[in-house]
Structure formats: structure tokens, C-alpha cells
């Protein structure tokens, strides 16, 4: 039973992250479309709202709920994990992921109402939040007690810096070539 529950948990974690990785891209396109002239603006925003709605409600939310349900089931099957320090840290990152998901939902709802409150630059940076959380969780689960906390924290900070530098590089490339 354990292997089946673990497999289902992993499948829904993967599909949850797929949604969390893609929806901010749709937000970026929506924000940029809102800056275009009519009728292009209306056509693009309507299509992007539909795409976001389908992704969010058909894939991302159900995956989040199922991933959490299967995680709870795993903890019921292996309660000793709750005694492990690495699991406490992992659960803290999962809580952070849920907060990220809820903030993403708030932005989703705003854009569904055509309320643009963030810049595309902000959304590009926001988009990397799920990546940082994913890296932290995967390393915690794989390395468990062998995980060196100092190197782990430094690694996540370095990854964040590299992602920010990548965003700046992309911005420069895009400024030179708007079609990139």
C-alpha cells in the first residue's frame, strides 16, 4: 500500500508544480496583453483568462488537494517521520508552498476581473518562488539527515541569486530583441 500512496503523492506533486510553474507565465502574458491596443488587448486577455481558468481549476487546485491528501496518508502510514527534524523543515516548506499557492490564487482572481496590480517583471520574479521551494523540498527528502543545513541554506540563496541574474539577462536580451 505504501508504494502506491507514495507514487500517487509524487504524481500529484508533479502536476501541482506544473500548474504553479505555468500559471505565472500566463499572468505575465496577460499583464503584457493588457498594455496592447484594442482589439488585440481584449482578444488576448479573454483567451489568457480562459487558459488560466482551465489550468488553475482543472489541474493545479485538484493536484494540490490530492498531493496534500496523499501526503497525510503517507504520514499516517509512517508516523515515525514526524519525529525526524528533516520532516519538520520539509513541512515548513510545504506550508510556504501552500502560502505561495494561495497568493497565486489571489493574483489569478484579480486577473480574472481584469485587475492588473503587478508588473510583468514582478511576475517573472514571483514565478521563481515555486522553483526555490521545489529545490528545498527535493533536497530535504532525498538527503534527509545527511543534509548539511548550512550548505543547504547557502545553496538555496545561491540558486535564488542565479535565478534573479537569469531574469535580468533575459530582460536585457528581450530589450534588444522584443520577439525573444
Q: Is 9 annotated as a binding residue?
A: yes
Domain span at residue 69 reads: 2-176
Q: To which residue does cell 517583471 refer?
A: 121
88 is in an annotated binding site: no
Q: How many residues does the chain have?
A: 180
Q: How many domains does the chain have?
A: 1
- SS3 for 38? coil
User: Is the distance from CB of 19 to CB of 52 less than 8 angstroms?
Assistant: no
Task: Provide the pLDDT for residue 63.
Answer: 98
Please report, in tens digits, the pLDDT of each residue of the chain (180 residues total). 999 999 999 999 999 999 999 999 999 999 999 999 999 989 999 999 999 999 999 999 999 999 999 999 999 999 998 998 888 888 989 999 999 999 999 999 999 999 999 998 899 889 988 988 898 888 888 877 655 656 666 777 777 788 778 877 877 887 787 766
The closest of 1, 51, 59, 56 to 30, measured between CA atoms, is 51
Query: Using DSSP, how many helices (H) and how many strands (E) does the chain show?
Result: 7, 0
State the CB neighbour count (10 A cutoff) for residue 115.
11
pLDDT of residue 85: 82
State the pTM of this model.
0.82
Amino acid at each position: 500500500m505504501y508504494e502506491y500512496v507514495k507514487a500517487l503523492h509524487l504524481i500529484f506533486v508533479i502536476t501541482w508544480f506544473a500548474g504553479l510553474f505555468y500559471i505565472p507565465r500566463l499572468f505575465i502574458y496577460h499583464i503584457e496583453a493588457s498594455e496592447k491596443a484594442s482589439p488585440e488587448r481584449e482578444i488576448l486577455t479573454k483567451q489568457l483568462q480562459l487558459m488560466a481558468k482551465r489550468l488553475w481549476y482543472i489541474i493545479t487546485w485538484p493536484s494540490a488537494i490530492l498531493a496534500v491528501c496523499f501526503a497525510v496518508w503517507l504520514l499516517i502510514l509512517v508516523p515515525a517521520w514526524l519525529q525526524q527534524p528533516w520532516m519538520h523543515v520539509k513541512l515548513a516548506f510545504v506550508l510556504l508552498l501552500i502560502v505561495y499557492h494561495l497568493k497565486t490564487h489571489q493574483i489569478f482572481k484579480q486577473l480574472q476581473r481584469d485587475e492588473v496590480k503587478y508588473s510583468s517583471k514582478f511576475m517573472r520574479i514571483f514565478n521563481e518562488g515555486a522553483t526555490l521551494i521545489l529545490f528545498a523540498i527535493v533536497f530535504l527528502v532525498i538527503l534527509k539527515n545527511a543534509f548539511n543545513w548550512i550548505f543547504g541554506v547557502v545553496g538555496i540563496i545561491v540558486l535564488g541569486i542565479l535565478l534573479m541574474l537569469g531574469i535580468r539577462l533575459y530582460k536585457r536580451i528581450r530589450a534588444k530583441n522584443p520577439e525573444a
